[in-house]
């Protein structure tokens, strides 16, 4: 092999070595990027999960349960709710099923009601929260509405609607984490909503961990 060929061969191998080194560094960079990107995604997912958990445990929620007087009273509740929704241009979904399931909390545990179900589901505009008013054959109603994302107007509307239902129930129990049902004080309700939304924002920004919040409470449990 002459010197020219030797130099050409050496250049080729040096080029290949350099290419291999660059390829390896590129592979390492891509791997590190993917790890960091996945880590960031995991952090985002963790924050979203913490926010969802906190929202369920400590959000501003109106829980209500009771028993309508009879079938006619159930009809009256459905009519009252439908008329109420119409004045606000809310979408109304009537429910009438011969056999359906409802989740109920009774005697400190979740149980399933299986049987005829009728009622109405209200869809307030521009919000994801639904107002579900579904009765079993026993005339029992058990439901809740979380309102801190929608704001105080929806909360006030739900309380107003529940007050209209009172004459049609033998028993109606309401637990309001915004304290509006008990006090009628909108300012106090707004303070609760602002506090919860502020905490949720801090969780999503990583400034606060839901696990460390002493204010977190379980979902309202009503018997």
Looking at the domain assignment, is residue 124 inside a domain?
yes
On whether the pTM is more than 0.75, the answer is no
Rounded Cα distance, 109 and 56, in Å: 17
Looking at the domain assignment, is residue 211 inside a domain?
no
Looking at the domain assignment, is residue 28 inside a domain?
no
Looking at the domain assignment, is residue 110 inside a domain?
yes
127 pLDDT more than 90:
no
209 vs 161, which has greater pLDDT?
Answer: 161
218 three-class SS: coil
222 pLDDT more than 50:
no
For the chain, report the end-to-end CA distance as a whole number of angstroms.
95
Number of domains in the chain: 1
Contact (CB, 8 A) for 146 and 55: yes
Q: What is the CATH number of the domain that holds 70?
A: 3.30.310
Q: In this predicted model, what pLDDT tens digit does every residue of 133-164 receive, in sequence order?
A: 999 999 999 999 999 888 999 999 999 999 99
Looking at the domain assignment, is residue 98 inside a domain?
yes
Q: What is the span of the domain harbouring residue 145?
A: 60-195
Looking at the domain assignment, is residue 184 inside a domain?
yes
Looking at the domain assignment, is residue 159 inside a domain?
yes
Kindly tell me the sign of the dihedral angle through the C-alpha atoms of 55, 106, 114, 83. negative
Rounded Cα distance, 70 and 51, in Å: 41
Looking at the domain assignment, is residue 42 inside a domain?
no
Q: Which residue do the tokens 């004459």 mark?
A: 167
């Amino acid at each position: 092999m002459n010197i020219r060929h030797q130099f050409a061969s050496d250049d080729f191998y040096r080029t290949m070595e350099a290419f291999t080194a660059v390829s390896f560094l590129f592979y390492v960079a891509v791997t590190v990027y993917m790890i960091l990107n996945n880590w960031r995604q995991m952090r985002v997912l963790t924050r979203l999960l913490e926010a969802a958990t906190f929202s369920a445990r400590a959000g501003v929620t109106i829980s209500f349960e009771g028993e309508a007087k009879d079938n006619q009273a159930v009809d009256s509740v459905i009519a009252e709710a439908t008329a109420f929704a119409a004045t606000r241009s809310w979408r109304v979904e009537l429910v009438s099923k011969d056999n359906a399931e409802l989740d109920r909390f009774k005697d400190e545990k979740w149980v399933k009601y299986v049987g005829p179900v009728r009622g109405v589901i209200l869809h307030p505009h521009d919000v994801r929260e639904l107002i579900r008013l579904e009765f079993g054959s026993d005339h029992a109603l058990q439901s809740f509405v979380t309102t801190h994302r929608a704001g105080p107007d929806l909360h006030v509307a739900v309380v107003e609607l529940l007050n209209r239902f009172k004459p049609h129930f033998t028993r109606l129990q309401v637990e309001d984490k915004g304290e509006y049902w008990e006090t009628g004080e909108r300012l106090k309700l707004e303070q609760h909503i602002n506090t919860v939304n502020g905490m949720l924002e801090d969780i999503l920004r990583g400034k606060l961990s839901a696990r460390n919040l002493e204010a977190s409470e379980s979902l309202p449990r009503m018997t």
